[in-house]
Amino acid sequence: METAEPISIAEAKFTLSPGQLFWQRLKRRKIAVAGGVILIFLYAVALTAGFVAPFYYDHLNTDYSFHPPLWPRLSGFHLIVPRTEAQADGFVYHELPNDTKPLHFFVCGDKYKLFGFIPASIHLFGTGDSNYPVYLLGADQFGRDVFSRILYGSQISLSIGIIGIALSFAFGMIIGGISGYFAGSTDTVIMRLCELIMSIPALYLIISLRAAFPPGMSSSEIYAMIVVILSFIGWASMARVIRGMTLSLREQQFVLAARALGQSHLKIICRHILPNTFSYVIVAATLSVPYYILGEVVLSFLGVGIQEPQASWGNMLSAAEDVQYLQNYPWLLAPSAAIFVTVLAFNFLGDGLRDAADTKSL
Amino acid sequence: MNLLEIKNLKMDFGKNAEALRAIDDVSLTIGAGETVCLVGESGCGKTVTALSIARLVPTPPANYVGGEILLNGQDILKMPNGELRNIRGGVVSYVFQEPGAALNPVFRVGNQIKESLKLHKPEKATNEEVIRLLKLVGIPAPESRIRNYPFEMSGGMQQRVMIAMALASEPKLLVADEPTTALDVTIQAQILELLHELKQRLGMAILLITHNLGIVGDMADRVAVMYAGQIVELAPVKELLRQPLHPYTKALMASVPKLRGDADRLSAIPGNVPRIGNFPAGCRFAPRCPMAKPECSEKVPELVEVEAGRWVRCPFWKTS
Amino acid sequence: MIPLLLGVSLLTFLLMSLAPGNYFTALKQNPQVSPETIARLQAQFHLDKPWYLQYFYWLANVLRGNFGYSMAYKISATSLIFSRLWNTFTLSLLAMVIAWTIAIPLGVSAAVKRDSWIDRGSSLIAFVGLSISEIVLALLAMWFAAVTGWFPIGGAPGPSFGLSAMQQFGDYLHHLILPALVLAASDIAGIMRQMRSNLLDTLRAEYITAARARGLGEGWVIYKHALRNAINPLLTIFGYSLASLLSGAFIVENIMAWPGLGRLTMEAFFAKDSYLVVDCVVMATALLVIGNFIADLLLAWSDPRIRLE
């Protein structure tokens, strides 16, 4: 019987690396890809919110309080925008006949700062005349365009989600790694602290933390405060899971091998143990971002987060808390659609990531 | 009439274009009280064949496209569900490979055995009968054992409990799918001896699935060798071990390490077992066969009875 | 459990003490109240002392069962807290019962009839349910109540004089139903998906094939053998479910004006009544801890492997 010819290590061709395999499995899941695409789109829009939004977030127009959605119409080959006027009493609007302006793209409008520092005044679409506004999703009590405010709000909500997750997971991973690696009394103390934090229902803890900050703060201070509060909630549960994984990983032979080579403890934790937790961390992070976004929404909704006139999905929704308003002006609920789509996209993506990482399934 | 007759069984996984044939034209008979060993490597289809006897393979995704399975003269594949449940446990019982895995972890051992009894022999569904069965399979102090949970027992004991459960309904055929593979060698020997003893006392037929040729020599009356979904050789055990006819069987026996002699290299069969869906055209063993000729890859050889009770699927069986 | 609650109360106290101002800050602006009165009130409530002494006084009182006096409500805090606690408890309990009663059968049918329209439909509802925030659901529920008039638009059960016990109970339930449904809705999705995935895993196990091999009917196999095993991991998420329920209750109570612990916390927060906030947080934590404890007991009862460790 013949035996196979041996081949050299250099010639050996292995199949895909774990990373490539993961990516391939991920691409096969349509739902995850859909989620990812939606998120890329949302973040791109948030980044260029000032440009896409026809108005600045606190562009008031009391002539148009509670204006229902006003879309441009097709007339021949042009899009035109009619002008409306309020009835004598109440906020019912009717169109003025033969009083329209054409819709332009890349039109000049409110001033804003692109990416936060480039002054600009070009908007994606609009009429160029604030007497002929385009209210894609209607206007709120002060005549501010709901669509524009949703876009500005997305900047806050989407960024808080990512930054909050990054901070709390980074912190949680390190603490969890240290706790599981060194075990003993360090571990006990850290775990008791984590249990303490985790045993308080999330929103009660959030409110307690909020109480620790003074009431009057600038908007950037508020933003930073929200990030800090949300990160504080999340790190404990991450630390616990990482600690559990570390406890078992540190018994593995490759850790012993690293010690035998003289690696320092910190190096072992960071370079050997923690990378083995990445597949869990990525999935958990993606599935947790919605909670961070919702955390900010709740805080702003209850009035203790982002304050007026800044736009946040949360404080926009608090206007809808009045049932009368909700019945008469249902477009005030529009931010909930934005929240829904964002959370759904993260759930799709996270679910797909989890399936792709779980090599036991198809 | 034989107890079990599998005739030209064909089974696919999946349908139409995506169908993968797992069992290809398998025929096997087992007479009452006979022990037949089904030998083959992992992935050759022996487990699904065995599970098919009681129609335990879930039918999607499996698809029986040809042949019949006659148990006591009745066609299993066409039987309605109600009758099938009587057959399962009543005529044929199973013992699985992982001893603990086949026992439900949240129920006590005694209750699980009693459940079987209630179904097939309700008049005997008592603690006394359970204790008798446990004694029969050699479990010490059975009175205290009936209240144990599976995880409180060792692997060998769990396997004995499984055997007791299989025997509870007094089946005519016991199908044991690699019952000792997951056990230590010494426990293996005990379990095999137990099976042997039970067979003699109760007159049961046994279909023993294994990839260990040593067990075959000990236990079998007849042997069927499976490769890539097909039976390639079928013979009484003594003849097979003394003079295997199919190149695959010969290679299997040659690959068993010998303690005597001056062999300095383990002889392995070159190449890999073809995976389902990737079967080569013609004879499936041809790519790895030392005697392969060009015509082997053109047509699938027939299973031919070359002597009384000896079947081979190789036209060149005479040359060796 | 006790050290945990002590730790929680200490932490919350510390956090509350970090912010400047207290209940009397607003009162100080009021020209009708003299500075001496304020000083006397502050001394009475120990608010002029450092936070650790305040904590000591608070703890001493609590251990005697006295939650002190709510400065904002001007009634004994003890009865206030317990009545609110009871409302949060009933809300969470009803929501939990509704959620689990719907989610478990749905999860089981989704697993048993895999890839059927029940499975895909409920999976879709699960995804959607997971993604809608309680805020939105609560707002929609209020809208629904306003439009149909079948339910009160949030709020507490009305005054009870003149009504029989039955009528009071009915009124209570009438106000409780909508908030409980909203709260349950967000929970159903998670439980259902978990049940489905657990049951699918269990059905792949070898002891299920072995059970079928013994001739047991499919229904018996699923509902007696598989389900018993699939339920166990669910009991472990019972704890998380309860935690998210209590957080969700916080939101629902505040939007739909259900007089529970969450609503009290926000009221106390805005009034800067720090003792009351601490009381609420500790009570909510206690509720969660006890709930987790019960879940552990249930798990031990259900899974013999855990019992004997």
What was the pLDDT predicted at A352? 86
Considering only the beta carbons, identify the residue of C213, C225, C302 that sits closest to B104: C225
Which of the two residues, C20 and A284, has the higher pLDDT score? A284
What was the pLDDT predicted at A1? 38
For A289, nearest residue in chain C (alpha carbons):
C131
What was the pLDDT predicted at A3? 43
Tell whether A209 is covered by a domain. Answer: yes
Tell whether B67 is covered by a domain. Answer: yes
Tell whether A19 is covered by a domain. Answer: no
A339 pLDDT above the threshold of 70: yes
Tell whether B165 is covered by a domain. Answer: yes
Nearest residue to A130 (alpha-carbon basis) of A147, A145, A151? A145
B17 pLDDT above the threshold of 80: no
What was the pLDDT predicted at A2? 40
Are B183 and B271 members of one domain?
yes
In this structure, what CATH number is given to the domain that contains residue B18?
Answer: 3.40.50.300
Contacts 24+ apart (CB under 8 A), A118-123: A120/A50, A120/A51, A122/A51, A123/A51, A123/A52, A123/A53, A123/A54
Task: Dihedral sign for Cα C275, C276, C281, C285, please.
Answer: positive
> Which of C214, C227, C231, C302 is the mutation pick for testing B, counting most B CBs within 10 A?
C214
- CB-CB contact of A112 with A151 (8 Å): no
Are B158 and B105 members of one domain?
yes
Q: What are the phi and psi torsion angles at C302 (to 5°)?
A: -80, -35
Are A346 and A317 members of one domain?
yes
Strands (E), A174-292: none
The reply to whether ipTM tops 0.90 is no
Chains with ≥3 CB–CB distances under 8 Å to A: B, C
Q: Which residues of chain B are within 8 Å of residue C229 when distances are taken between CB atoms? A: 104-106
Are B215 and B251 members of one domain?
yes
Residue type, B108: R
Domains in chain B, number: 2
What was the pLDDT predicted at A154? 93
> Which of A38, A199, A326 is the mutation pick for testing C, counting most C CBs within 10 A?
A199
DSSP letter assigned to residue C260: S
Helix (H, G, I), strand (E, B) or coil at C143: helix
Domain boundary at B170, B200, B226, which?
Answer: B170
Strands (E), chain A: 73-75, 78-86, 93-102, 104-114, 118-126
Are B160 and B68 members of one domain?
no
Percent share of chain B, pLDDT over 70: 98
Are B23 and B77 members of one domain?
yes
First to last CA, chain B: 36
Chain centre to alpha carbon of residue A265: 35
Are A224 and A334 members of one domain?
yes
The segments of chain C whose pLDDT lies below 50 read: none
Q: Which residues of chain C are within 8 Å of residue B89 when distances are taken between CB atoms? A: 213-215
Are A133 and A195 members of one domain?
no
Are A100 and A138 members of one domain?
yes
Which of the two residues, C59 and B6, has the higher pLDDT score? B6
Tokens 């695409």 found at: A37
B301 pLDDT above the threshold of 80: yes
First to last CA, chain C: 21
**Cα angle at B291 between B286 and B297, to 5 degrees?**
30
Q: Count other Cβ atoms within 10 Å, centred on residue A93.
A: 19
Tell whether A262 is covered by a domain. Answer: yes
Helix (H, G, I), strand (E, B) or coil at A144: coil
CB contact under 8 A, B290 and A3: no
Q: What string of DSSP letters covers C48-109?
A: TS-HHHHHHHHHHHHHTT---B-TTT-SBHHHHHHHHHHHHHHHHHHHHHHHHHHHHHHHHH
The alpha-carbon gap from C122 to the nearest alpha carbon of chain B, in Å, equals 22
Extract the tokens encoding B163. Answer: 């055997």
Average pLDDT across chain B, whole number: 86
Whole-number Å distance between alpha carbons of C292 and A351: 27
Are A157 and A66 members of one domain?
no
What is the β-pairing status of strands A78-86 and A93-102? antiparallel
Are B87 and B13 members of one domain?
yes
Tell whether B295 is covered by a domain. Answer: no
Query: Which residues, other chains included, contact B266 with Cβ-Cβ below 8 Å and sequence gap of 6+?
Result: B255, B257
Lowest mean pLDDT among A167-176, B10-19, B105-114, B156-165: B10-19
CB contact under 8 A, B251 and A1: yes
Tell whether A31 is covered by a domain. Answer: no
Tell whether A4 is covered by a domain. Answer: no
Q: Which residues of chain A are within 8 Å of residue C143 when distances are taken between CB atoms? A: 323, 326-327, 330
Domain of B180 in residue numbering reads as 1-91+172-257+267-279
Nearest residue to B315 (alpha-carbon basis) of B241, B304, B28? B304
Extract the tokens encoding A129. Answer: 């005349």
Are B17 and B40 members of one domain?
yes
Extract the tokens encoding A280. Answer: 């869990």
Tell whether A5 is covered by a domain. Answer: no
3-state DSSP percent of chain A in helix, strand and coil, to 5: 60, 15, 25
CB-facing half-sphere around the CA of A211: CA atoms within 13 A: 31
Tell whether B288 is covered by a domain. Answer: no
What is the β-pairing status of strands B222-227 and B205-210? unpaired
A199 pLDDT above the threshold of 90: no
Are A219 and A131 members of one domain?
no
Considering only the beta carbons, identify the residue of C213, C217, C229 that sits closest to B106: C229
Whole-number Å distance between alpha carbons of C304 and A322: 52
B269 to chain A, any CB pair closer than 8 A? The answer is yes
What was the pLDDT predicted at A74? 78
Are B215 and B69 members of one domain?
yes
Q: Which residues of chain B are within 8 Å of residue A4 when distances are taken between CB atoms? A: 270
A39 pLDDT above the threshold of 90: yes
Are B23 and B44 members of one domain?
yes
Are A280 and A172 members of one domain?
yes
Query: Which residues, other chains included, contact B40 with Cβ-Cβ below 8 Å and sequence gap of 6+?
Result: B46, B211, B225, B226, B227
Are A198 and A266 members of one domain?
yes
Residue type, C87: N
- CB-CB contact of A142 with A37 (8 Å): no
Are B10 and B42 members of one domain?
yes
Are B21 and B81 members of one domain?
yes
Mean pLDDT, range B81-105, rounded to an integer? 85
Q: What string of DSSP letters covers A276-324?
A: GGHHHHHHHHHHHHHHHHHHHHHHHHTTSSSPTTS--HHHHHHGGGSHH
Residue B292 CA: distances (Å) to CA of A2, B69, B232, B244, B246: 13, 33, 15, 17, 12
Are A75 and A155 members of one domain?
no
In this predicted model, what pLDDT tens digit does every residue of B96-120 receive, in sequence order?
Answer: 888 778 888 888 899 888 888 888 8
Domains in chain A, number: 2
* Ramachandran sector of residue B293 (left: φ over 0; alpha: ψ -120 to 50; beta: rest): beta
List residues bridging with B312 in a β-sheet.
Answer: B233, B304
Q: What are the phi and psi torsion angles at C91 (to 5°)?
A: -60, -50
Are A246 and A350 members of one domain?
yes
Tell whether B262 is covered by a domain. Answer: no
Considering only the beta carbons, identify the residue of A196, A215, A314 that sits closest to C4: A196
Tell whether A295 is covered by a domain. Answer: yes
Tell whether B313 is covered by a domain. Answer: no
| 140-169 of C, contacting A, C-beta below 8 A | 140, 142-143, 146-147, 153
What was the pLDDT predicted at A164? 92
Q: Which residues of chain B are within 8 Å of residue C304 when distances are taken between CB atoms? A: 105-106, 149
In this structure, what CATH number is given to the domain that contains residue A232?
Answer: 1.10.3720.10
What is the maximum alpha-carbon separation in chain C?
Answer: 87
- Run of H or E residues at A176: helix A146-182
Domain boundary at B170, B189, B208, which?
Answer: B170
Domain of A134 in residue numbering reads as 61-144
Tokens 């798990």 found at: C299
- CB-CB contact of B240 with B247 (8 Å): no
What was the pLDDT predicted at C72? 63
What is the β-pairing status of strands B35-39 and B222-227? parallel
Whole-number Å distance between alpha carbons of A310 and B51: 67
Average pLDDT across chain A, whole number: 83
First to last CA, chain A: 37
Domain boundary at A99, A115, A144, which?
Answer: A144
Helix (H, G, I), strand (E, B) or coil at A213: coil
Are A163 and A132 members of one domain?
no
What was the pLDDT predicted at C180? 92
Are A129 and A247 members of one domain?
no
CB contact under 8 A, B251 and A2: no
Mean pLDDT, range B267-294, rounded to an integer? 83
Q: Which residues of chain B are within 8 Å of residue C213 when distances are taken between CB atoms? A: 54, 56, 88-89, 93-94
Extract the tokens encoding A103. Answer: 């819709």
Are B32 and B106 members of one domain?
no
Tell whether A169 is covered by a domain. Answer: yes
CB-facing half-sphere around the CA of B26: CA atoms within 13 A: 32
Tell whether B36 is covered by a domain. Answer: yes
Q: What string of DSSP letters covers C161-219?
A: TT--HHHHHHHHHHHHHHHHHHHHHHHHHHHHHHHHHHHHHHHTSHHHHHHHHTT--HH
Residue type, A86: A
Could you tell me the pLDDT band of residue A296, with boundaries at 50, 70 and 90? very high
In this predicted model, what pLDDT tens digit does every residue of A133-169 receive, in sequence order?
Answer: 888 888 888 888 999 999 999 999 999 989 999 999 8
In this predicted model, what pLDDT tens digit does every residue of B24-62 receive, in sequence order?
Answer: 889 999 998 899 999 988 878 888 999 999 888 888 788
- What does the buried/exposed string (b/e) look like for A55-74 if buried means 16 or more CB atoms within 10 Å of the residue's CB? bbbebbbeebbbbbebebee
Could you tell me the pLDDT band of residue B218, with boundaries at 50, 70 and 90? confident
Could you tell me the pLDDT band of residue B123, with boundaries at 50, 70 and 90? confident
- CB-CB contact of C85 with C263 (8 Å): no
Per-residue three-class SS string for chain B: CCCEEEEEEEEEECCHHHCEEEEEEEEEEECCCCEEEEECCCCCCHHHHHHHCCCCCCCCCEEEEEEEEEECCEEHHHCCHHHHHHHHHHCEEEECCCCCCCCCCCCCHHHHHHHHHHHHCHHHCCHHHHHHHHHHCCCCCHHHHCCCCHHHCCHHHHHHHHHHHHHHCCCCEEEEECCCCCCCHHHHHHHHHHHHHHHHHHCCEEEEEECCHHHHHHHCCEEEEEECCEEEEEEEHHHHHHCCCCHHHHHHHHCCCCCCCCCCCCCCCCCCCCCCCCCCCCCCCHHHCCCCCHHHHCCCCCCEEEECCEEECCCCCCCC
Q: Which residues of chain A are within 8 Å of residue C237 when distances are taken between CB atoms? A: none
Lowest mean pLDDT among A92-96, B195-199, B294-298, C37-41: C37-41
Nearest residue to B303 (alpha-carbon basis) of B4, B61, B86, B6? B6
Domain boundary at A106, A125, A144, which?
Answer: A144
Task: Dihedral sign for Cα B256, B259, B262, B266, please.
Answer: positive
